[in-house]
A = this chain, B = another copy of it.
């Protein structure tokens, strides 16, 4: 089996936004699904880990696109393991046009492995008898910047509050990582998207949130034109804790 996984998708109409391009949320879910299938097929995924009470946890995700798949177009997601350290592994993605092979963008992600009982991080190099180790592809390029260190100051403005609902909860029982991206993009109106391309999104996951939590989004503009957003959870007993930090960078639209 090839060390690089290759998954073919179609930008179906009802996965596209009003500009007739794939929603970033749907692309994000395709990347997570590709990662899930790639690891499962190679013996270090959830079917192997669930019985031994371990699970992958997404720590960081970056997606940088030069163009988004257009409605009806075929596109390909390739994914591979760039490196494995004791507590983290780097997984990369390439998104390309299904007909021409033209690169549309790249992704980077960082994952930890935890014990589902103790929630403690595990040694990835040793888990499941080191099942991930033969799959490292050290020599394949991923020509986008590594995950940015997103900072959000205490002066950031509260711009939205959303309650976690049934549709937000994934197979792991907490809020789907991509839902935070959707909540961030929903801060912008349709006029904004009509004139701009989402060039890059960086997201750092700090904690999990669950059904019944209230998510508060705090936004800050930066000097370089990006928007930084911190999302906190307010639990039923009134505590507030950060769950993720996100940076989005838009370009003037080429569409």
| A12 at interface by CB-CB < 8 Å | yes
- 17 A-B pairs in the complex with CB atoms less than 8 angstroms apart: A13-B32, A13-B33, A13-B171, A14-B32, A14-B171, A15-B33, A16-B171, A17-B170, A18-B172, A18-B173, A20-B171, A23-B167, A25-B167, A47-B72, A166-B186, A166-B190, A189-B211
In the complex, how many angstroms separate the beta carbon of A16 from the nearest chain B beta carbon? Answer: 5
Q: A14-B29, A15-B29, A171-B20 are in contact. Are A166 and B188 (CB under 8 A)?
A: yes
Copies in the complex: 2
A122 interface contact, C-beta 8 A: no
Contact of A171 among B71, B166, B185, B189 (CB under 8 A): B71
Residues of B within 8 A of A16 (CB): 170-171
Q: Decide: A14 and B170 in contact? CB cutoff 8 A.
A: yes
Known: A14-B32, A29-B14, A36-B13. A167 touches B182 (CB 8 A): yes
Report A71-89 CB contacts with B as 1/0, cut-off 8 Å: 1100000000000000000
A25 surroundings in chain B (CB, below 8 A): 167
Given contacts A33-B12, A33-B13, A211-B190, is CB(A18)–CB(B170) below 8 Å? yes
B17 touches A169 (CB 8 A): yes
Judged by a CB distance under 8 angstroms, whether A37 is at the interface is yes
CA distance A211 to B211 in the complex (A): 27
A131 within 8 A of B: no
The answer to whether the Cβ of A46 comes within 8 Å of any Cβ in the partner chain is: yes
A173-B182 Cα distance, complex, nearest whole Å: 18
